[in-house]
Structure 1
Amino acid sequence: MSNESLPPGRTSAVAIVAVAVVLALLLSACGKGGDQHGGGFPPALVSVQEVKTRTVPVEFEYPAQTAGSREVEVRARVTGILLKRNYTEGERVSAGQSLFQLDAAPYEAAFARAEADVAAAEARLGQAQRQAKRYKPLYEAKAASQKDFDDAVSGEEVAAADAKAARARLNEAKLNLSWTRVESPVSGLTSRALKSEGSLVSGPDVLLTTVTQADPMYVNFGLSQSEQARIKADIEAGKLVMPAGGKFDVAVKSDDGKVYARTGKLVFTDSRVSQTTGTADARAELPNPDGALRPGQFVRVVLKGATRPNAVVVPQRAVMESPQGKMVYLLGPENKALPQPVTVGEWAGDDWVITSGLKGGEKIITDGLMKVFPGGPVQVGDPNAPPPGAPGKAPAKPDAKAEPAKPEAKK
């Protein structure tokens, strides 16, 4: 019987009854599911991993700046006019290489005069020696007085002293002449020239340029008081083992995260704490034969070699943020997800080191956390597995014991 044949009041009554039946069926289904899974949602499919303890390597990372192992100021030792610059600014130079040339003419003249003074002094010394030699037998034969003989001996000694002073002045003139050639005291990288040709250089008070020895390279950084106190407390508690002799292996990372190919050693840690920065100065030394590191670069230094014995570690993906801090989900009784606050330390590869909140042996949820809520039910499995019937999933194999379907009889 169609609705068209029913009166209007009867049609409305039938519609209300139909809606009530549908609502009753839906509420019945929700009630059954709600008793099992809470709110009608199926339990979240998650992966679970047992928390274990192990010895893990520890790395400490700090901001740092590179510096040459030797930074030398190049100055002239004598006064003169700067005639020539003998190097290319910014290029590498060798120890003893000429960097500047001063006007040597005045010093060549002084050297020649000193040579002449030495020749004259040596001639006078020779004459005095001969005079003393003649007087000696005469004095022994009583043919010369004691005074004449003493004067001859004293004359020889004075002439010897004059000759020695003349030779010293010659050496000084020779040094001054050689110092007109301003040489690099070390091998390294040069900076720009601070004086140009034709300038008057008034001796050591004028800085001409600097040379930085970049192999090996120093990396300078600071250790804060709080960091030092934390490390000391961990060592005393047996939570941290330092490398033998405190000699950390050192790696350097650039701003883009690229790690420098060569490693070095920590060579210095100051016992004093700066009143300005509240840090103690530290220094690492790295080989730099190809000049990949440049003085003055801002880098990050990584200290390696320390270990944490019996450290509690969990995968990084298992640690979540909450309003109260970091937390993990434990697999509780009846497969309930229980939030557990934790305190994390440093990274160990792809894991977090947990300093408090876990002891080892607990089971934590590592995957499928997007559908997990506190106290919610979970089901252990592989949340990354494709659902049944998804593209690329092999069809289920038929049961060999099942009876084959019988063909329908032809009508």
Structure 2
Amino acid sequence: MLLSACSKSEPEKAAPPPTEVSALAVKAQTVPVTYEFVGQTESSQQVEIRARVNGFLEKRVYTEGTFVEPGQVLFRMDVKPFEASLKAAKAELAQQQARLATARANLARVKPLVADNALAVKDLDDATGTEQAASAAVEAAAAKVTDAQLNLGYTTITSPVAGQSSFAKVQDGAYVNAENSLLTYVAKLDPMRVNFSLSENESLRLQDEIAKGKLIKALRDDYAVELLLADGSSFPAQGRITFADASFSQETGTFLLRAELPNPKGELRPGQFVRVKVHGFQRPNSIIVPQRAVQEGPRGEYVWVVDGEGKASQRLVSVGDWMGDQWLVTAGLKDGERVVVDGFMRLAPGAPVKVKDVPPDPLPEGKATERPAGPTPAGAVAAAASVMPNSGAGPAGGTAKAAAASPPAGSASASGSAGANGDAVYFDRGRTALDATGQVRLVSIIAALKAKPDLRVVLHGYVDSSGDPKVNAALAKRRAEAVRDALLAADVPAKQIEMKAPANIVGGDSPAMARRVDVILAEAR
């Protein structure tokens, strides 16, 4: 019985059922990339308000911290000493003018007497010299009067620009001289600048990737700039890179870049630390997978791959930029391979799997707006394109990180479809010339009009309710014409441009709202 029992074989165990997993087929494609930096805002024009003459500060006129207009009185100094100096200068001028009149009368009497040989030629020379000296003394006295008038005018201290005022650094009644002449400063808020920088190593890395075809620059080197504020919210307006420094800093080894953004409501203030997103780069033949599909082991990052026989295996991969909730895989995967995204915790190498195919996550969206042919603002965009990095040091020591690109508000894609119905161009007080910031804001509009000839653009200016209505109406018309001329210079057909009569504006979020020209895209009639 024992021998009989030993001769019986044990029954074979049943094979385990295939493990159910979710997998997606990866696809090589061109994906947009956004690079992120740490930046700091800066006023586009911060003006120090200084006393230009010595004297006692009589009164601070403005309210500290408020928005001030060009020409608005900020401080008044004691005028009595300067009025006295002006009276003395005028008295001296009158005295010299009287002497000049006497000298001229004497010269007029001497000339005919010398001609009749009644007086010597020396007498004529003396009279001529006296008249010329008196004339020069009058000019010197007149210059003293002008100087005294200027000094008297300097006692009324005004703001040269529109912007946000700071606190008064000198109090009423204090004596102001060269040592404490700084009274306050006024910071222009629209447009707002943002400074950010990048390292030399990363700029070289970027240039190498572009040379090898791993990275594609934006069309015409046009890079949109988006800001993320301290609370994580996105600033509603986009900007453009307007300045690139000529050299790397020897102290920090970084390269300074500057962007400008419209800030008509004054939401951005100088000195804020922000995150700067630069849109416009693209990576061709890229494979992206969800972050949850990438695991980390002793040998590095890996994913689970399902082969043609339905079996799972580990595959070492190299990952690059972090794109939202997805990883950019730079090596280890090929087009069409299936990668496990859920259920891999129960997998073993070579184990059979039951695959449930899932669609890939949507690609990150966003493209830089297409810039029409022509020079870039201050020549900076082209310079920035040659040094923009994968990551770089910011002003606060941060580094840039690639993230999913998202279209900024009001942008237009390369295909020409506007992301909004238009934009607005703002002008300084009393100005009708379109500055570099205004030209940048027309970029997406021009691209949309060129891409879709059936579109038209409506230009609508506004008349400021303060001041002379006729003058303001003429300003509004000329501002709209300046925008029209910029569109025509960019080869936008005249038939696509419609001018509306300026409208009066009452109130508004800021005085700049009355000095704008709305640029609105509309379908052709």
- The TM-score, its normalising length taken from structure 2, stands at 0.63
Equivalent residue pairs, number: 351
Is the contact made by 1:329 and 1:365 (CA closer than 8 Å) also made in structure 2? yes
Alignment-mate amino acid for residue 153 of structure 1: T
Aligned position for 1:225: 200
For residues 307-322 of structure 1, the aligned pairs below 5 Å read: 307-322=282-297
For residues 140-179 of structure 1, the aligned pairs below 5 Å read: 140-179=115-154
2:253 is aligned with 1:273: no
Aligned position for 1:196: 171
Helix, strand or coil for the counterpart of 1:69?
strand
Cα distance in 2, alignment partners of residues 130 and 327 from structure 1:
107
Is the contact made by 1:46 and 1:383 (CA closer than 8 Å) also made in structure 2? no
Alignment-mate amino acid for residue 60 of structure 1: Y
Cα distance in 1, alignment partners of residues 125 and 114 from structure 2:
10
Deviation at 1:379, TM superposition (A): 0.6
Deviation at 1:347, TM superposition (A): 4.0
2:212 is aligned with 1:216: no
Helix, strand or coil for the counterpart of 1:228?
helix
Among 51, 62, 68, the residue aligned to 1:87: 62
Alignment-mate amino acid for residue 192 of structure 1: F
Task: Pick closer, same or farther for the CA change 1:115–1:350 going to 2, 3 Å.
Answer: same
2:75 is aligned with 1:100: yes
Helix, strand or coil for the counterpart of 2:28?
strand
Aligned position for 2:428: none
For residues 296-307 of structure 1, the aligned pairs below 5 Å read: 296-307=271-282
Aligned position for 1:295: 270
Task: Pick closer, same or farther for the CA change 1:182–1:253 going to 2, 3 Å.
Answer: same
2:234 is aligned with 1:262: no
Task: Pick closer, same or farther for the CA change 1:204–1:117 going to 2, 3 Å.
Answer: farther
Alignment-mate amino acid for residue 224 of structure 1: S
Alignment-mate amino acid for residue 218 of structure 1: R
Deviations 1:351-404 (A, max 9, x none): 4322222232322223333433443321112689xxxxxxxxxxxxxxxxxxxx
Is the contact made by 1:217 and 1:287 (CA closer than 8 Å) also made in structure 2? yes
Task: Pick closer, same or farther for the CA change 1:45–1:178 going to 2, 3 Å.
Answer: same
Among 158, 182, 185, the residue aligned to 1:183: 158
Deviation at 1:44, TM superposition (A): 2.3
Higher relative contact order structure (alpha carbons within 8 Å, sequence separation ≥ 6): 1
Among 41, 46, 58, the residue aligned to 1:71: 46
Deviation at 1:164, TM superposition (A): 0.6
Deviations 1:76-129 (A, max 9, x none): 011111111111111111222221111111001101111112222222222222
Deviation at 1:340, TM superposition (A): 1.6
Helix, strand or coil for the counterpart of 1:194?
coil
Alignment-mate amino acid for residue 96 of structure 1: G
For residues 315-330 of structure 1, the aligned pairs below 5 Å read: 315-330=290-305
Deviations 1:16-73 (A, max 9, x none): xxxxxxxx9xx85xx443xx33xxxx32222332221222211110111111112222
Cα distance in 1, alignment partners of residues 137 and 204 from structure 2:
69
Task: Pick closer, same or farther for the CA change 1:374–1:176 going to 2, 3 Å.
Answer: farther
Cα distance in 2, alignment partners of residues 100 and 140 from structure 1:
62
Cα distance in 2, alignment partners of residues 346 and 169 from structure 1:
69
Is the contact made by 2:53 and 2:151 (CA closer than 8 Å) also made in structure 1? yes
Deviation at 1:345, TM superposition (A): 2.3
Aligned position for 1:122: 97
Percent identity reads 45
2:29 is aligned with 1:54: yes
Is the contact made by 1:240 and 1:308 (CA closer than 8 Å) also made in structure 2? yes
Deviations 1:268-308 (A, max 9, x none): 23343334433222211111110111111111000111112
2:191 is aligned with 1:236: no
Q: Which runs of 5+ in 2 are unaligned?
A: 1-7, 360-525
Helix, strand or coil for the counterpart of 1:142?
coil
Among 352, 357, 363, the residue aligned to 2:338: 363
Helix, strand or coil for the counterpart of 1:335?
coil
Aligned position for 2:310: 335
Cα distance in 2, alignment partners of residues 32 and 108 from structure 1:
113
Aligned position for 1:395: none
Deviation at 1:318, TM superposition (A): 2.7
Cα distance in 2, alignment partners of residues 176 and 163 from structure 1:
20
Alignment-mate amino acid for residue 165 of structure 2: T
Aligned position for 2:19: 44
Among 345, 350, 354, the residue aligned to 1:379: 354
- The TM-score, its normalising length taken from structure 1, stands at 0.79
Helix, strand or coil for the counterpart of 2:118?
coil
Alignment-mate amino acid for residue 162 of structure 1: A
Is the contact made by 1:216 and 1:288 (CA closer than 8 Å) also made in structure 2? yes
Aligned position for 1:394: none
In terms of mean alpha carbon deviation, does 354-363 or 160-169 score higher? 354-363
